[in-house]
Amino acid sequence: MTAKSQPGFFPELLRNPQYSGTFSTLIYNWPIFAGILGFGLAALISSAFLTAPWSWLFLAAGVGAIVIIFNILVASFIVYDFGPRREYDRLAELANLSEANLVIDITCGKVRGTQGLLARFNRGHYFVLDIYDPHKMPDAALRRARAMTPPLDTDRRIYRRTAKVESLPMPHNWADVIYCSFSLHELHDAADRQKIFSEFTRILKPNGKLLIAEHDRDWLNFIAFGPGVYSFFSAATWTKHITEAGLVVNHHERWRGLAHLWVAERKPR
């Protein structure tokens, strides 16, 4: 992963484990929030100087903009920060993480999930593989995330590598656990997604576990995140990639209505 001398904007907010997901959503997407808020305020102010029906139309537009911001932040809090347990706690529990010796963490540069899982993995070796490709991942929010995310706060030695989806720099039959936390949807090309899942199968040990957390492209996420839902893929897409790679889904559940968690296993041949 790229070394950072300064984590950038509001580093202490991003370090806060209690609200890190909500703050990340706000900070990484601040131009979008600023644009929506500016439009909403302009519409509300304009409504006071117009006559019906235009005043009602502008008032509805202004209120709607504020509601969109509110929905996104509340949804982010619910799925990432609500309650004493996070999605990485649940995945660690399902995969019996305490029994693993070698964990591979797949990321595009955001380390909230990495930090969470690291706190629950007290032994063995932890590899962070950065699959970021600026040509295939042009999202401005992702670039801001990479620039602003604070360095990993850990006193353990971890191993960082850059990686390509078609050739992860790991030996065959090596990993006990592969962990993917809200990063795989940055692979927009289906061929790239299938390549990396094939790599997962190659580097997992027999009975090794693949842990995935991803949003769904469904009506609930549309209500929560608006047009941002189109950056996600359906739950069926991820299940298809898992099974086509020769892995077996041991567990799949919906997490707080807006995300899905998978635990898949490489069965011995």
Q: Are residues 48 and 162 in the same domain?
A: no
Q: How many domains are there within the chain?
A: 2
19 band by pLDDT with thresholds 50, 70 and 90: confident
- Angstrom distances, CA of residue 94 to CA of 74, 106, 177, 250: 27, 18, 12, 9
Q: 3-state class of 207 per DSSP?
A: strand
102 band by pLDDT with thresholds 50, 70 and 90: very high
pLDDT at 106 (0 to 100): 98
Asked whether residue 1 is domain-assigned, the answer is: no
Arithmetic mean of pLDDT over the chain: 92
Q: Are residues 154 and 187 in the same domain?
A: yes
pLDDT at 176 (0 to 100): 97
90 band by pLDDT with thresholds 50, 70 and 90: very high
**Percentage of the chain modeled with pLDDT above 70:** 94
For residues 232-250, average pLDDT = 98
3 band by pLDDT with thresholds 50, 70 and 90: very low
Task: Answer yes or no: is pLDDT of 1 > 50.
Answer: no
Containing domain of residue 43, as a range? 14-81
Asked whether residue 227 is domain-assigned, the answer is: yes
Q: Are residues 63 and 170 in the same domain?
A: no
Asked whether residue 3 is domain-assigned, the answer is: no
- Cut 0.85: pTM above it: yes
Q: Are residues 206 and 244 in the same domain?
A: yes
Asked whether residue 132 is domain-assigned, the answer is: yes
- Angstrom distances, CA of residue 146 to CA of 22, 28, 189, 230, 257: 17, 9, 21, 21, 27
Asked whether residue 31 is domain-assigned, the answer is: yes
6 band by pLDDT with thresholds 50, 70 and 90: very low
Asked whether residue 203 is domain-assigned, the answer is: yes
